[in-house]
């Protein structure tokens, strides 16, 4: 799967810098970090809620700048737009890592993984929105879809299965990200590829998302976590 992704990058004919110096590689690393963080800081839940209602989604419902909160409190159209753009944001961030690392002949997959960290940091702590963002579920979906499509499809089935069975988005997210490093390890073993770097990345990501969901986890234990009920657009 990775080879197929990297062929797409090669088709783009990204100009490479032959024998790139340490300074040039260092600049690329900083560029990926900056681009990933700025991209992640585009908080589409805040943007689309402002467009549709003139309000701040962080003052509504759970106070989270995420797709589920927009669906509950603003409506299906802004909620879907938030989800789509957050997903694209994650995917684009990974491609930026691929392309820039490839320019200086550094490991492309490492570039995507490095970009992942900063896209998520931007999503959690957006510089444009007072460092109060979302919980990273949909953005991480876009990231995983590019890094490993097979893994993404497996986890999508898990997420949808839990969501359809319980109608609780936070439970679906927690279960899915609990499975993320485990499923990646299994796929790596099946495909006979090195599992240490990618599984370590996904383990760290899962821990960050669990931390972002700490209040949800508490409510799940107490049995008070609300189910997903989509607000009708005409009620806005």
Q: Which residues of 73-90 are buried (b: 16+ CB within 10 A; e: fewer)?
A: bbbeebbebbbebbbebb
Question: Tell me, what's the pLDDT at 192?
Answer: 85
- Give percent above pLDDT 70 in the chain: 92
Among the ranges given (28-32, 57-61, 194-198), the one the predictor scored with the smallest mean pLDDT: 194-198
Contact 219, 62 (CB under 8 A): no
- Mean pLDDT, residues 153-163 taken together: 96
pLDDT band at 193 (very low <50, low <70, confident <90, very high): confident
Contact 134, 47 (CB under 8 A): no
Contact 126, 132 (CB under 8 A): yes
pLDDT band at 17 (very low <50, low <70, confident <90, very high): confident
Report whether pLDDT(33) > 50.
Answer: yes
Domain locations in the chain as residue ranges: 2-13+21-235
Report whether pLDDT(37) > 90.
Answer: yes
Q: For the chain, what's the residue count?
A: 236
Contact 75, 122 (CB under 8 A): no
Q: Which of 2, 79, 91 is nearest to 39 (CA)?
A: 91
Q: Which of 90, 136, 131 is nearest to 113 (CA)?
A: 90
pTM of the model: 0.89
For residues 72, 73, 77, 83, the Cα torsion angle rounded to the nearest 10 degrees is -60
pLDDT band at 233 (very low <50, low <70, confident <90, very high): low
Question: Tell me, what's the pLDDT at 229?
Answer: 85
* 26 Cβ neighbours under 8 A, 6+ residues apart: none
* Residue 41, token pair as written in the block: 């800081």
Question: Tell me, what's the pLDDT at 79?
Answer: 95
* Residue 227, token pair as written in the block: 């189910």
- Mean pLDDT, residues 53-70 taken together: 92
């Amino acid at each position: 799967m990775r080879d197929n992704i990297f062929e797409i990058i090669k088709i783009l004919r990204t100009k490479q810098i032959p024998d790139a110096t340490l300074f040039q590689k260092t600049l690329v690393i900083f560029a990926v970090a900056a681009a990933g963080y700025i991209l992640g800081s585009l908080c589409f839940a805040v943007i689309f809620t402002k467009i549709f209602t003139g309000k701040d989604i962080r003052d509504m419902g759970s106070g989270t700048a995420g797709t589920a909160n927009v669906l509950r409190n603003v409506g299906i159209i802004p909620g879907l737009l938030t989800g789509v753009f957050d997903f694209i944001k994650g995917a684009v961030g990974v491609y930026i890592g691929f392309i820039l690392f490839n320019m200086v002949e550094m490991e492309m997959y490492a570039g995507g993984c490095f970009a992942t960290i900063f896209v998520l940091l931007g999503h959690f702590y957006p510089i444009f929105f007072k460092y109060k963002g979302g919980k990273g579920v949909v953005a991480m979906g876009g990231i995983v879809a590019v890094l490993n499509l097979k893994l993404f499809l497996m986890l999508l089935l898990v997420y949808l299965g839990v969501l359809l069975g319980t109608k609780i988005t936070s439970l679906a997210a927690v279960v899915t990200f609990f499975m993320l490093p485990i499923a990646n390890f299994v796929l790596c073993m099946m495909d006979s590829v090195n599992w240490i770097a990618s599984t370590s990345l996904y383990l760290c990501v899962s821990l960050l998302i669990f931390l972002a969901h700490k209040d949800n986890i508490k409510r799940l234990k107490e049995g008070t976590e609300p189910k997903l009920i989509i607000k009708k657009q005409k009620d806005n």
